[in-house]
């Protein structure tokens, strides 16, 4: 890292061409997140909101994964953050990819990822997307119903199908089981349908829910998966893939679930239900999204306007900033997050001297009143127009679902690489 403000470098040639709507990749710097924040703010006229993405943090998360879950190969869930540099880095490190659509398949394949390192992990696929997967040789894909098997047998007869079963996601922030996952009781019938249609079933997957709060959900689901392996064996099918899905916590996220604990409990469950000696033929994969990227992206927003409210003997402030709920903060609505800021002043200094604190609320830039990032009650020192706030932990389910409602642009991304992971 550099001190006194990072030097900013142009992106290396092979890393250009990134496309994230109109969110421009501006620079590449080997320093830390706070170096990049200072350097960016030192630029005259800096006003637009921007992300600082630390590829080194993605690298550290990957290193931690291989240390704590050595039996499980991660397939990054692209939907969580389809950032080209994140994909490039994870591909270089040896990860596979979980794609949800033709668009994601195209993106990952265009990054040079081989079809064999992709799982099309959507149980309900449009026909044209399925045809595209077939044409590209992407074979691994999930299903959870008989109609999907009919479609696969017709449009992608060479597919290697993975039966997604329902897991207990009752504690998760996002309960995916409301929409997907076969009841374990229907697994045998689905396997028989697959045999009748000539669809090759190779394994079982589940998802404990995104933002899962219970490590027991993982071990319980592994046990359920083992039951399906046994049912398949009784039908003469030897399954060879266990996909333990996503739902792993990001570093410092608010679910209270610790990745170390999840890894320990999950590893023990895999070793118990799929002991290495008897199940050496079984490949174990996972589909983590949030885990890799949540802590790697910080979002800096600028106070573009404010309103001072005088009550009886009280003073409070409403601050209007230039990214909001219709933009990167859509995670408040879709991902049930409650982001909280730290202060960053225009002088380029992080943090702020203690002073009188005022009740404050933070609002996004659009004309809609639902566009509220932090409701009143937050205690902040008095901010001025032009001051900066930083929201850490903004890498998961943020920019990927942002809109340009009211004509506002998507926030730019500045990259740093604190581990020189991509250099």
Q: Tell me which residues are annotated as active site.
A: 367
Q: What 3-state DSSP class applies to 116?
A: helix
Q: Please, how many CA atoms are within 13 Å of residue 397, restricted to the half-sphere of its CB?
A: 21
Comparison of 259 and 319: residue with beta carbon closer to ligand PLP: 259
Task: List the interface residues with ligand PLP, window 113-132 (CB under 6 A).
Answer: 121
Determine the interface stretch with ligand PLP among 192-200, 218-226, 242-250, 304-312 (rule: CB under 6 A).
242-250
Structure token digits, residue 66: 């291989």
Contact call for residue 176 and ligand PLP (CB under 6 A): yes
Determine the interface stretch with ligand PLP among 48-56, 155-163, 243-251, 320-328 (rule: CB under 6 A).
243-251
Task: List the interface residues with ligand PLP, window 291-320 (CB under 6 A).
Answer: 291
Comparison of 210 and 267: residue with beta carbon closer to ligand PLP: 210
From the list 22, 20, 24, the residue with the least C-alpha distance to 11 is 24
Determine the interface stretch with ligand PLP among 27-35, 105-113, 214-222, 287-295 (rule: CB under 6 A).
287-295
| Alpha carbons 108 and 103: distance in angstroms, whole number | 9
| Alpha carbons 391 and 406: distance in angstroms, whole number | 22
In the block, residue with structure tokens 């290193």: 63
Q: Nearest approach, Cβ of 81 to ligand PLP (angstroms)? A: 9
Comparison of 289 and 364: residue with beta carbon closer to ligand PLP: 289
Determine the interface stretch with ligand PLP among 2-10, 246-254, 358-366, 410-418 (rule: CB under 6 A).
246-254
Pick the binder of ligand PLP from 34, 35, 54, 98 (CB under 6 A): 98
Q: Nearest approach, Cβ of 208 to ligand PLP (angstroms)? A: 8
Contact call for residue 288 and ligand PLP (CB under 6 A): yes
Contact call for residue 246 and ligand PLP (CB under 6 A): yes
| Alpha carbons 301 and 343: distance in angstroms, whole number | 10
Contact call for residue 327 and ligand PLP (CB under 6 A): no
* Cα dihedral 54, 56, 57, 62 in deg (nearest 10): 140
In the block, residue with structure tokens 């203690």: 354
From the list 356, 352, 359, 373, the residue with the least C-alpha distance to 304 is 373
Contact call for residue 393 and ligand PLP (CB under 6 A): no
Task: List the interface residues with ligand PLP, window 179-238 (CB under 6 A).
Answer: 207, 210
Tell me, residue by residue from 51 to 90, as one string, x for binding to ligand PLP by CB under 6 A and - for no binding. --------------------------x--x----------
Comparison of 28 and 292: residue with beta carbon closer to ligand PLP: 292
| Alpha carbons 81 and 64: distance in angstroms, whole number | 19
From the list 116, 95, 97, the residue with the least C-alpha distance to 421 is 95
Comparison of 77 and 380: residue with beta carbon closer to ligand PLP: 77
Beta pairing partners, 303: 321
51 contacts 85 by C-beta, under 8 angstroms: no
Helix residue ranges per DSSP H, 146-254: 146-155, 187-197, 215-234
| Alpha carbons 69 and 80: distance in angstroms, whole number | 21
Determine the interface stretch with ligand PLP among 257-265, 281-289, 349-357, 365-373 (rule: CB under 6 A).
281-289
Contact call for residue 322 and ligand PLP (CB under 6 A): no
Count of helix runs (H) and strand runs (E) in the chain: 11, 17
Contacts with ligand PLP by CB under 6 A lie at 77, 80, 98, 121, 176, 207, 210, 245-248, 287-291
């Amino acid at each position: 890292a550099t001190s006194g403000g990072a030097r900013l470098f142009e992106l290396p040639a092979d890393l250009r061409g990134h496309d994230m709507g109109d969110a421009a990749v501006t620079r590449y710097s080997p320093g830390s997140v706070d170096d990049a924040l200072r350097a960016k703010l030192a630029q005259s006229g800096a006003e637009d909101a921007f992300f600082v993405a630390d590829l080194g943090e993605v690298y550290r998360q990957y290193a931690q994964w291989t240390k704590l879950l050595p039996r499980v190969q991660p397939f990054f869930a692209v939907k969580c953050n389809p950032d080209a540099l994140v994909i490039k880095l994870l591909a270089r490190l040896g990860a596979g990819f979980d794609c949800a659509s033709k668009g994601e398949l195209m993106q990952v394949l265009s990054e040079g990822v081989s079809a064999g390192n992709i799982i099309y992990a959507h149980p309900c696929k449009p026909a044209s997307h399925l045809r595209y997967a077939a044409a590209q040789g992407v074979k691994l894909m999930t299903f959870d119903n008989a109609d999907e098997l009919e479609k696969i047998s017709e449009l992608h007869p060479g597919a290697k199908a993975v039966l997604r079963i329902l897991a207990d996601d009752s504690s998760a922030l996002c309960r995916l089981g409301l929409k997907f996952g076969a009841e374990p009781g229907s697994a045998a019938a689905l396997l028989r349908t697959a045999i009748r249609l000539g669809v090759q079933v190779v394994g079982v997957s589940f998802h404990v829910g995104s933002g899962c709060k219970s490590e027991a959900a993982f071990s319980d689901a592994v046990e359920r998966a083992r039951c399906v392996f046994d049912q398949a064996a009784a039908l003469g099918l030897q399954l060879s893939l266990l996909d333990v899905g996503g739902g792993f916590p990001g570093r410092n996220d608010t679910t209270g679930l610790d990745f170390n604990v999840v890894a320990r409990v999950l590893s023990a469950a895999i070793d118990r239900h799929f002991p290495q000696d008897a199940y050496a033929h079984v490949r174990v994969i996972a589909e983590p999204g949030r885990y890799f990227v949540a802590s790697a992206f910080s979002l800096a927003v600028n106070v573009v306007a404010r309103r001072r409210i005088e009550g009886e003997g009280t003073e409070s402030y409403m601050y209007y900033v230039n990214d909001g709920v219709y933009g990167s903060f859509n995670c408040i609505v879709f991902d049930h997050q409650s982001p909280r800021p730290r202060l960053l002043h225009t002088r380029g200094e992080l943090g702020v001297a203690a002073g009188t604190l005022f009740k404050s609320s933070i609002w996004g830039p659009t004309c809609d009143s639902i566009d509220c990032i932090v409701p009143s009650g937050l205690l902040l020192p008095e901010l001025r127009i032009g001051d900066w706030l930083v929201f850490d932990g903004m890498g998961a389910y943020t920019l990927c679902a942002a809109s340009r409602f009211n004509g506002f642009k998507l926030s730019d991304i500045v990259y740093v690489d604190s581990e020189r992971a991509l250099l």
